[in-house]
Amino acid sequence: MSQVILILGGARSGKSTQAQALADGLSERVLYVAPAIAFDDDMRRRIEAHRLSRPQAWRTLESPRDLATPLSDAMDGVDVVLLDCLTLWVSNVLMEDPGFSFEGGKDFGLLQERLLEESEKVLAMARERDITLIAVSNEVGMGVVPPYASGGVFRDLLGRVNQLWAARADEVYLMVAGVPLRVKA
């Protein structure tokens, strides 16, 4: 039976560890979707640490900006899809937008529509294929309001994406210091 699980939390809250433990407990046939881009040494180290923490039997799909089409082609033969994380995906899509600037002032309504439509496609695919989909994302609504325009745009876009995923999810967890708090069952 298909199931959608969303795991939210702040930086270093244990989101990925919890998601991997859930996926590992459900099946050995896991597809790990990694939208990360190794743009500097720190990110390269983080990507490698994530890679080493996953069971070797898991398949990996690296897809930084497009999710639905690559996932459609890669979902065959898996029981669980682990998407880690929505935060990086939204950031990558935002940064590639030709109208994006750090000064702000642009209407990002079309970009928000794109992100929400892509999310709906991925969620529908998981339901149609009877797959458990676990998504990880940063909770961005509890921090300070970013003092710069680009941070505000990112926070707003990710916040809307998180809301959609939480509304469609069967279960939602908020990670606090490594402890999963069930928000929605």
**Strand order across the beta sheet in which 3-9 lies:** 59-62, 30-34, 80-84, 132-138, 3-9, 171-176, 179-184
Backbone angles phi, psi at 163, to 5 degrees: -60, -45
Cα separations (Å) of 142 from 11, 161, 169? Answer: 12, 15, 20
Choose, from 29, 46, 50, 160, the residue flagged as catalytic. Answer: 50
> Which residue reads 């505000």 in tokens?
152
C-alpha span between 168 and 3 (Å, rounded): 10
Q: In this structure, how many other beta carbons lie within 10 angstroms of the beta carbon of residue 66?
A: 13
Q: Is 50 a known active-site residue?
A: yes
Cα separations (Å) of 89 from 26, 128, 138, 146? Answer: 24, 23, 11, 19
Would you name the residues annotated as active-site residues?
50
